[in-house]
Amino acid sequence: MNLNEEKYSKYALVREMMETPEVVKSFDQESVKPFAQAAALMKGLFLTGEGSSRILPAKRAIYAALKGEFKLPLMTEGCTQAIEYNLKDFAVFAASNSGLTREVIRLVMELKKQNHKNVFGLTANQNTRLEEFAVKTYILNCGKENAVAATKSVIEQTLFYDALIRLLKGEKMQGLTELAEKIYTALTLKIDPEIIKIIREADIVYFAGRNNGVAEELALKTNETTRKKSDFLEGTFAVHGIEEVMNKNEVLIWIDPFAEEQNKFSECLIKGVGMNIIAISAKQTQFPTIIIPDDDRYSEYIQLAAGWNILVETGVSLGINLDKPQRARKIGNEYIEG
């Protein structure tokens, strides 16, 4: 996709996706320091929110922390279930772009009643209910999103947690300008029309991959931008029983396939079911592969951008209005006073 063609540029969704490289390049790590200083006094971090405000930002942070040396427990859960948890020893970070998400406000209000002193907000808007109830709130710098599907805000939320974890380890994020360039490359890659045709004609689009938020977030974006049913199949779940009900009119998009499992996926899903598998990876796989720039530090950001590219091309080819789903809303479940 690109902004030089009207079939893309007419959509706020595409314009906001294409603003993402600048969001990355201009990200201010210094603004995260006060939150890191407060979090360092607690026994763990709890990252919450709903939908896109939690899936990639929180799960990518946990994945990165577990891969490295991070001593504090780091957890996530949806806000309604989180109300049932004892969070008194955790620094709680609650993300809501609108600052009005009902589940988020309900949790933050409950923690305030408990006199919790370390509840922090992430939102794109000022003077919201979230900011009112949180001890301190980080206001995203990415600007307002007009499309229903969240994009650039998801990336900035992820950057915030990325910087937070690194600061708590005494590190800083490096190479953001280079990352911005790689994201731009992934967003503007030419996608094989045959791949788009496969996805366009599929009844269900499955996403497989690590539980780091990328594949799961793309499954959600598939609903919002292509109006197709989708599902996230964590790890190797796709070959542990669900193949029984899959059929040849479905497709699986595999994010960064595990090398040692590719033969099994091919045997069970391509030969057994008759369905197609498409890969997004920095290296060629045994499946049709969308090759993206490599970056060990920030691969998830680049994978997400490539997935956005695929979904936009699919939506455009289907003639869908990418900005206006029929049922999905910008604020999924808005907090209403009383």
Contacts of 110 (CB under 8 A, 6+ apart): 83
Q: What is the pLDDT of residue 148?
A: 85
Contacts of 238 (CB under 8 A, 6+ apart): 206, 208, 252, 265, 268, 269
Q: What is the pLDDT of residue 336?
A: 62
pLDDT digit string, tens, across residues 43-95: 999 999 999 999 999 999 999 999 988 889 999 999 999 999 999 999 999 99
Class of CATH domain 28-172: alpha beta
Q: What is the pLDDT of residue 337?
A: 65
Q: pLDDT at residue 338 above 60?
A: no
DSSP sequence for 202-217: -SEEEEEE-SSSHHHH
Q: Can you name the CATH fold of 178-317? A: Rossmann fold (3.40.50)
Q: What is the pLDDT of residue 119?
A: 97
Q: Hey, do 28-172 and 178-317 end up sharing a CATH topology, with the first three levels equal?
A: yes
Mean pLDDT, the chain, whole residue set: 94
Contacts of 230 (CB under 8 A, 6+ apart): 204, 205, 206, 207, 218, 219, 220, 222, 223
Q: pLDDT at residue 169 above 70?
A: yes
Rounded Cα–Cα distance for residues 223 and 221 (Å): 5
pLDDT digit string, tens, across residues 257-295: 999 999 999 999 999 999 999 999 999 999 999 999 999
Q: What is the pLDDT of residue 149?
A: 87
Give the number of residues written for the chain.
338
Domain boundaries, the chain: 28-172, 178-317
Share of the chain above pLDDT 70, in %: 96
Q: What is the pLDDT of residue 333?
A: 66
Q: What is the pLDDT of residue 302?
A: 98
Q: What is the pLDDT of residue 334?
A: 62
State the average pLDDT over residues 215-237. 96
Q: pLDDT at residue 114 above 60?
A: yes
Share of the chain above pLDDT 90, in %: 89
State the average pLDDT over residues 99-120. 95
pLDDT digit string, tens, across residues 10-48: 999 999 999 999 999 999 999 999 999 999 999 999 999
pLDDT digit string, tens, across residues 149-167: 899 999 999 999 999 999 9
Q: Using the 8-state DSSP alphabet, how is residue 103 labeled? A: H
Q: pLDDT at residue 329 above 60?
A: no
Q: What is the pLDDT of residue 144?
A: 87
Rounded Cα–Cα distance for residues 70 and 169 (Å): 7
Rounded Cα–Cα distance for residues 220 and 76 (Å): 18
Q: Using the 8-state DSSP alphabet, how is residue 38 labeled? A: H
Rounded Cα–Cα distance for residues 30 and 24 (Å): 14
pLDDT digit string, tens, across residues 308-320: 999 999 999 999 9
